[in-house]
Structure formats: structure tokens, C-alpha cells
Structure 1
Amino acid sequence: MHAMQYEITLPADYDMGIIRKRVADKGHLLDAYPGLGLKAYLVRERGQDGSPVNQYAPFYLWHTAEGMNSFLWGPGFRGLSNDFGRPAVRHWLGAGLAEGSRTEAPTSATRATVRLPETADPAEAVERALAELPTNPALHTAAVAVDPSRWELLRFALWRGPAPEDEPGTRYQVLHLSRPELDRLPSGRHW
């Protein structure tokens, strides 16, 4: 599993209805994309859920590297880059996945990242993060991943309804969820 996200920060007075329409018109295009576990079409709106910015920030869990590469070098990402400028794409190696109830579509998401100190054992930090994955009944899907170039640990979760107040990290609204190969992503630890 590979985790990936890019963030497009928009002007404070940007009409977020433009992003909502874009997702409504194009979100379904990845609903059957080969190699994609899930794509959560995420937004943050200035003044909501503590967000200081307007932002479009899709988050992906890829089942295959080939699918991820096909997307990044293909027309979808090229079109986004033509419309907003080419964003920096963050990438993490998947370490584990937790499944919640997937009977309803998620409406919110959280993403928390933490840099691992040089003295920290990365394997122990990942094991701890996996053990701390949420078991809340509102959980849809949660993932742990690591960026070994920065030794940064990522915890991402999708929620049915509002994210729990005690859940750490940046909060997002989910506009659409494409999940063509979500059921092919293995649960639990990925090594």
C-alpha cells in the first residue's frame, strides 16, 4: 500500500463551490481506477473545524505502485496541474490498515503526522501507531504510513459523520470517496 496526498491552498475569498462542482462533475472518474484502493476528495474551508485556509487536498491509498504511477503521469493529474499548477505530492509507504464499518460513506477525515526523533526506533513507533489505530464505531477506514526520507509517521482516518473531538490532526470534509480496490488493501500490519 502507498499513501499519497497533495494540497492546493486557495485564496481566503475563493468560492469553494467551484471545488465542490469539480468533484461532483469529475469525482466518479476514479471510481473504477485500476490499482487505486481509495481516493478521498478532501477539502478544508477557512473558519470551519479550525481551518485557517481554503484547501483542496485529495488523499489516496494505492493498492499498486503501477496504479499510482499511471495516475501521476496520466491525464487526470495533468488536468489538475493545468488548472491549479503542479502541486508537490507527498508519499508515504503503507505500514498498516484498520477497517471500520463501510456500510455508509465517510463525511469527514483526519490526518496527523509526526516526525520521529533520531533516537526513536522506527519499527517501535510504527507498532505503537498501529496499536493505537481507532476502534471508534464511526470509523470507516484508518491507515498508518511512513515517509522514510523524513522519518515522518502518518495516521489517516475516514469517519462516518464528524470526526471524534479527541482525534488528533487536521480535519477535512469528504466530498466523494472513490474506492475501486479498497477491499484488496490488506488489513492489519503490512510486513
Structure 2
Amino acid sequence: MYAMQYEITLPADYDMGIIRGRVATRGHLLDDFPGLGLKAYLMREREDGSPVGQYAPFYLWNTLEGMNSFLWGPGFQGIVNDFGRPVVRHWTGLAYEEGPAAAAPPGTATRRTSAVPGDIAPGHVVAEAVRAHGHDSRRDGVVASALAIDPRHWELLSFTLWAEGAVIPEGAGERFQVLHLSAPERDVLSGQPTGTRVR
């Protein structure tokens, strides 16, 4: 599993309805994309307390081939054409869990990053992070949750999708609206047999 995200920070006076319209008309195009576990079409707005207005899609890839096909193909080129070429952050996957609200459509996503301490063995930090992730993913309202790491910057990433109306605990991380979820191979992420995909 590979996690990937890019953030497009928009001007203060940008009409965020344009982003909603973009997702409404184009979001379905990745609903069957090979190699894609899931893509959460995320947005955050100043009106909701965010320091910036952003379009910030988040991806969990099952295969490098799928990720490469997207990045070097027409999908990502559409982003480049419309907004310029963003920095694409990526992390190596460590764990993925379906939550108690797995069958519900997500309304909110949270993203939390933390530094891996330099004075502790990386393997110990990762093992503890995976253990904590397994516990946190069982919270009420969790649709799905992923844990990943960037070993270049020694950064852990926790990403969680929450059901509409879920009570999100303090410290869960930065919050984003989920405008659409494409999940063609979510069953592979969760280890479910093919043909029993959770939508």
C-alpha cells in the first residue's frame, strides 16, 4: 500500500463551489481505476476554521503500476493544466483497517503527522504506531483508517475517514470535507475477498 496526497492552496477569494462542481462532474472517473484502493476527494475552507482554502485529494494505492499510471496519465495532467504542478507527498503503507462504520459514506477526513524520534529504534516506533492505530481504528464513527511512513523525513501519517455526524476526538488531526470517495479496490486494502467490496 502506498499513500499519496497533494494540496492545492487557493486564493482567499476563490469560489470553493468550483471545486465542488469539479468533483461532482469528474469524481466518478476513478471509481474503477486499476490499482487504486481508494481516493478521498478532500477540501477544506476558511469558513470551517481552516487556515487555508484547499483542494487536497488523498489516495491509497494497492500497486505502483496504478499510481504511476495516474501520475503520468491524463488524470494528474488535468490537475497540472488547471492548477499548476503541485508537490506530491507520498508514504509507504504500514497498516489499514476498516472501522465500525465501514458501510457508511464518509463525511470528514482527518490527517495527523508526527515525527519519528531520532533516539528510538525505528522498528520500535513503527510497532507501537501500528498497535495504536489498530486501537484507534475501532472508535465509533470510523469508516476506515490508514497508517503510513515517509522514511526520508521520518514522518508518520495517520489518515482516517469518519462517517457523517461522527464525534471526532480532539487531537485526531487536520480536518477535511469528503466530497466523494472512489474505492475500486478497497477490498484489497482491507484483505476482503474480491467481489465483496465495501462501498
TM-score by length of 1: 0.94
Give the share of equivalent positions with the same residue, in percent.
59
Match of 1:122 in 2: 122
1:151 is matched with which residue: 145, 150, 154?
154
- Offset at residue 116 of structure 1 (A): 1.2
- Measured after TM superposition, the shift of residue 138 of structure 1 is 0.5
Question: Is this contact kept in 2: 1:47–1:53, CA < 8 A?
Answer: no
Secondary structure of 2:59 counterpart: strand
Paired positions, count: 186
Task: Determine whether 1:98 maps to 2:101.
Answer: no
Counterpart of 1:28 in structure 2 is: 28
* Structure 1 runs not aligned, ≥5 long: none
- Counterpart in the other structure of 1:174: 178
| Segment of structure 1 superposing worse, 54-63 or 109-118 | 109-118
Q: 2:146, 2:169 → 1: CA distance?
A: 19
Q: State how 1:33-182 maps to structure 2 within 5 Å.
A: 33-48=33-48, 50-100=49-99, 101-133=101-133, 134=136, 135-161=138-164, 162=166, 164-182=168-186
Contact 2:2 2:62 in 1 (8 A): yes
Q: Which amino acid aligns with 1:70?
A: S
Tell me if the contact between 2:109 and 2:161 (Cα under 8 Å) persists in the aligned partners.
yes
Q: Which amino acid aligns with 2:173?
A: G
1:96: Cα distance to partner?
0.5
- Pairwise CA RMSD: 1.2
Aligned partners of 1:114 and 1:154 also within 8 Å: yes
Task: State the TM-score, normalized to the length of structure 2.
Answer: 0.90
CA distance in 2, matches of 1:163, 1:75: 38
Q: Compare 29-38 and 160-169 and name the one that shifted more.
A: 160-169
* TM-aligned CA deviation for residue 47 of structure 1: 3.1
Separation in 2 of the partners of 1:12 and 1:19? 14
Distance apart, 1:104 and its partner CA: 1.4
